[in-house]
Chains A and B, each alone.
Chain A
Amino acid sequence: MTEQKTPDQKAPATIPAQSKQLPGGLTDTSMRVTGTRLDPSGALGSRAASAAHLDLDTPDHPYLDSNELVINMGPQHPATHGVLRVILKLDGEKVLGTECVIGYLHRGVEKIAENRTYTMFNPYVDRMDYVAAVSNGLGYCQAVEKLLNVEAPPRANYIRVILTELNRLASHQLWLGTHALDIGAMTPLFYTFRDREEILKIFEKYCGARLTTHAFRIGGCLYETYAGFEKDVKNFLKFFEPKIDEYETLLTGNRIWIERTKNVGVISAADAIALGVTGPVLRASGVKWDIRKAIPYANYADFDFEIPIGENGDTYDRYLVRMREMRQSLRILEQAVNGIPEGPIMAKVPKVIKPAPGEVYHSIEAPKGELGYFIVSDGSTQPYRLRVRPPSFVNLQALDVMVRGALVADVVAVIGTLDIVLGEVDR
């Protein structure tokens, strides 16, 4: 996996250049779809044929057989971030192939949605990506607002942006801590949790909940900001800036950290796009694409911030991209908290939400990637069909492509760097 340097990784990803060579799916050497036919010999072909490519009965070569060891990582394993089960086929310590077995946490969120009214379903979305609950709520509320064709008032948008960016920070902190712990550095975990606490305090003071914050309502926000909200956020900004430097001093220049992450789990931009990978993983491969810029929602268009991108699409770049994203979030927060206007926080929304028959797809840039809601309304008070497009689920699909030929330790590193939340993968 080390020398995956297709030219499109180099240049800061001018998209047409990529999409020219995208036809034919993956352009990478180690995984190939020749033309438009699936080539089963190519790694992607065998990857897709997930069960077929690792025959799970133990090999029966009598003597000195150290290869083709099939081990079962998870569902209870310290490094799988929940109940992910990865079946590894190893040659010694080299990974020949993986298969993800998911669904242990499946709660049928989409089925529940069809039996709840739009308002009643709002809290459920927090339980999908419970690390970034506010983002989920924002996506859902805005999708329903789009269906109703109402627009949240400016002040509500500012509050939404502030809380969402804070939540992005919280999610990235949790990712950093657990990722570093997987690679063996215990200390950053405690630093990040110490600082994440400050964010959760703000959430708690705003809406009373720390993790599954049912913060937003369809049409705006239910709660007005508490007294001193701005001051809290500003204090947090002052408090958190040096903390990022602290994390970076521990990791960014650390020789072992670099050796463990550079050229590990490389995925080229073309492969990332073909696999539908979004979020920091896609940006680390050099694709400068962020829904906050491309299709701005809320009032992200009012803020100026950059989209950090990487070059090699390896674990180290993903790490750097997320670290820079934290700093960008701080920029957004600073502008938002200074420019927060007066005014109503709730649009005029009917008591009984009863959208016209129709369908709408709305997606936001969740901390983990594109979080989309596809809602079909039949004109009743309940969604006729609500489809969640979870970033973790789609990103996890890239795991096998990224760890092929790597070592067991790299599998752990890559699972960490994909930043999956099983609650969202399984829904």
Chain B
Amino acid sequence: MEYILKNGIVFDPKNNVKGEQMDILIKDNKITDEVSSNAKVLDVTGKLVMPGGVDLHSHIAGPKLSIGRLYRPEDIRRGIKPPSRNDISGFEAGFSLPTCPTIGYRYTKMGYTTVTEAAVPPLEAKHAHEEINSIPNLDIPTLTLFGNNWFMLKYVKENRLDDLKVFISKWLKLAKGYGVKIVNPCGSEAWGWGKNVDGLDDAEPHWEVTGRQVITSLTRVNEELGLPHSVHVHTNDLGHPGNYETTLETFDCVKDIKKNRNVDRNQIIHCTHVQFHSYKGTSWRDVSSGATELIDYINKHNHLTCDVGQITFDETTTMTADAPMEYDLFRLTGLKWANKDIEVETASGLIPAIYSQHAPVSVLQWAVGLEFFMGVKDPWKIALTTDSPNAGPFIRYPKIISWLMSQEKLQDMLDNDVHSWATKRTDLGTYNREYSWDEITVITRSSPAKILGLEDRGHLGLNAKADISVYDIDVDDFDPTLKSNSETIENKLLNSKYTIKDGEILVKDAKIVKLVKSNHIWCNVKGLENSERLLENRIKPEFNKYYTIKYENYGVNDHYIKPDTQVNVEYMGENYESN
């Protein structure tokens, strides 16, 4: 199929297109520069055109979601929407814990085409992929949890990085994972005994390995393999006042590790939901923002990127492999607590969270997130996330954009809506920045795509994937800086005029018109097959002793990942960029 997307106002930061009126040509699933006379014209004169949205960190499939839905029927009820008569999508259910189909409907309507599931334990990877099969309309890479895996801990402890490299390469194949996720390294393992680790250099009591060792080892291995994405790190001490120092140390601990020569991205470490890791103080009474120091570091260094994890003032659900932190939250709030320890690999925890604009701590967290948006100068180093649903459900992205684009709106909130900690305990009030559409495009499309190493998307250049979103906003006649327009921004961005994925129109005029199967994106390292076989033979006896399923039944069978995109990486030995 061929289309001409005509006369839109196009934002394509990677290709330096900043709001030019132009046509985008689509042939089959790619952007092209020539179409035949059969091409169908979609007139979008004056409308906002961007590449399809890319979310680099969200929780949309796998065991945490299942537990969440199972134990929060009150959240499911809150998001019930009967099927509409003139839409081909079905009913919706769930607010912070949407059902699988609902996730697809809501993201597509927002113009998103790629969403990363950020934490999958390999043991339950089949489950995550099975759920992805029920989510329509997205491309979904999954990040595989390694930060507390016993084999990893053993190799790190014994400094066997070659084995670790082969292990990661093999395990990504087994889990059909895209990249390496590290969550509270060593802390979730310590949770096996009801404990946590305190900071980057507190060794896990049994393994005597520290978070620092895990992060640096996995970063080295990630770069040696040349995986498209860098290590994706949820640093130690999440949600603890005073944790910004750990975060700073984490930023710094990998800075001398060399980046693989073949990768497109700039960073060697991606630190996720930094908002939760940027607090000063010793308790929730004397807590204040530590964002300024972290922002300063990010502005001065190029080896790291981050996403925000912006608070949105909702009743939502927190879910993370950082299980000890969730128990702390349970002690703090007394709300119903869910926990799941997963043998040999990780733990996870969940708890409902109520972020209120009247509660000092929530407001501090909200302001810290916005500080990052305001303070990080280069938008290519940052991505918009809410760590959905942890800080807020993903359907709040448009609301966040409305705050970022209007100082008037933000100031009004600071003056009238939110608790005074926002200005008293953070530097948010000192910024005076308004995001342009170009910058919004970067933090919701181009930057996350680049950070993920998915070069075919996040832009509209020749041969890029034809993933495009069009919003019913007349760019030249619309002032996003006005407070009075912030609701319009939210509504228009929630309901795209067109969402096009792989050259197919999925949404038209805010209605879903087509449902397609989601695509599983995973990373396949080539060139280590022999080493993998040897490692497998060594691992098997241990595996069968300490897991409770057989190694032979462990991996994700191919039929769970149809259709898939296999991102092939040729292993080329040590192949680093020179500094």
- Are A and B part of the same complex? no
